[in-house]
Structure 1
Amino acid sequence: MLKTNVGPADRALRIVLGLGLLLGFILNPDAGWRWLYLIGIVPLLTGLVRSCPVYSLLGLSTCPMKR
């Protein structure tokens, strides 16, 4: 299982950013560089599963400290 390392504020930002990019993909059907909007899948997924592989590699976490 993946270790949770994405905190609440980071998670919300990732989900909003991912949805915004995917919305751009849908709303710009004529743009030649439209496929770049698909990058929004990455922040959306990392926000939904609350785990970021890059954070794991770097040993980072935005989760609040457990007491």
Structure 2
Amino acid sequence: MANVGGLDRVLRFVFGVVLILVPFVAPSMPALAGLGNWGWLIGAMGVVMLLTAIFRFCPAYVPFGIRTCERE
């Protein structure tokens, strides 16, 4: 039962990859150097976004009845 549509899926994938890279890039960037352990939390959020894009299902959409894809 997919509830994540095309544009939503692409955006989740792109932002997920970017967020996953934050903990690795942050120490070398002065603007992000102060993240510390928060960088890993941001990276974990990126993994969740990436997984929701891959499986086309977002559990947070269910209670609100949100669907960004067409009905099957």
| TM-score normalised over the length of structure 1 | 0.80
Provide Cα deviations, 1:4-41, integer angstroms capped at 9, x if missing partner: 00000000000001000011122124641322322111
Q: After superposing the two structures, state which structure 1 stretch, 38-47 or 3-12, moved more.
A: 38-47
Q: Which structure 1 residue ranges, 5 or more long, are not aligned? A: none
More helix, by proportion: 2
- 2:26 corresponds in structure 1 to 28
RMSD: 1.6
Q: Summarize the alignment of residues 36-55 of structure 1 with structure 2, pairs less than 5 Å apart.
A: 36-38=41-43, 39-55=45-61
- Gaps of at least 5 residues in structure 2 are 28-32
**Percentage identity across aligned positions?**
44
Tell me the TM-score normalized by structure 2. 0.75
How many residue pairs end up in the alignment?
Answer: 64
Residue type at the aligned position of 1:34: G
